[in-house]
Amino acid sequence: MQIKKELIQQIHSIIATAKDRAIRSVDTERVLMYWHIGKVILEEEQQGKERAGYGEFLIKSLAQTLEPQYGTGFSVRQLELCRQFYRTFPITNALRSQFSWTHYRSLIRIDNQDKREFYIAETEKNNWTARQLERQVNSQLFERLLISNDVQSVLAVAREEKLPTDAKEIIKDPMVLEFLGLKRESTYYEKDLESAIITHLQDFILELGNGFAFVARQKRIHIEGDEFFIDLVFFNRLLQCFVLIEIKTTKLSHQDIGQLQMYVNYYDRYEKQTFENQTIGIILCTDKNDAVVKITLPENNNNLIASKYQLYLPTEQQLIDEVKKEIEKLDNNSEI
């Protein structure tokens, strides 16, 4: 007699589900344990706050007692994190059951409350893993969205208090593509970058933002006997429209913008359904002249975006410089 494959698969599924629940349960208990430890440490520290250096003494003394017995999970650094954890999340009801301790380690290192709330909302909404959250914090997603938006708008979209009505509310400039593993010093053809994006499609969609679904690569279109190929086609369910992406490994030119405009027009006239919104076009380029982009596009343009990409994580100073540039542009425009 042979055991049915379906029966074995069913038991495998039960075991896998049980293991997954057990892991989540253990991590939930670990989060609560660190929260309670942080609470006890902070309350004791506050009682002895009159004594100089009592907080530092308390942490070191606890680590010397606990670490030999329980391991590195109770080192000085870890106990400091516990204290900061409770200080940042003083109400247990604010803790999310789907967040692991690794999630919280990334969150408690964020000093700015608006920034932290943004990452909490995005993690909860998109079910980010701890690794994905860490990557988004390190790539400074919040700051990049702020370059073309205000804080309240960014938070409202993250909390789903409003749906994005403008592509700029979810499209970043610059985009960070460090996950492609390409060396920034090397020269690449557009097809090389496109192939790398397809290989790392899940990471690329994460970088694109909320609501993106992949549709096609090198989409062929025919116009009066001429043949053209669109690099990448996506659909965004939040914006309810097609999103066309063209990749340029050189500085953006007005001819590139005209080419993408033609593709967008084609999709609006022949592919878009009546209930869908106008197609959005994105050019990923290594560099751009914002003045050329502004002059080439119509004044009321809402559906063509030029976004620089970089193959490495930006530094905080780079993002500060970008924000300053955007503020200067706004000031200059208001003077005109």
d(CA 4, CA 101): 40
- β-bridge pairing 226-236 and 280-285: unpaired
Q: Which CATH class is domain 175-313?
A: alpha beta
Please, which pLDDT band fits residue 21 given cuts at 50, 70 and 90? confident
d(CA 284, CA 245): 7
Please say if the pLDDT value at position 120 is more than 70. Answer: yes
pLDDT 10s digits, 38-53:
999 998 887 766 676 7
Task: Provide the residue ranges of all domains of the chain, joining segments of one domain with +.
Answer: 5-102, 110-168+321-336, 175-313
pLDDT 10s digits, 286-322:
888 777 787 877 777 778 888 888 888 777 677 667 6
- Whether 110 contacts 137, CB under 8 Å: yes
Q: What is the pTM of this model?
A: 0.78
Burial 214-234 (b: 16+ CB within 10 A, else e): beebebeeeeeeeeeebbbbb
d(CA 112, CA 17): 37
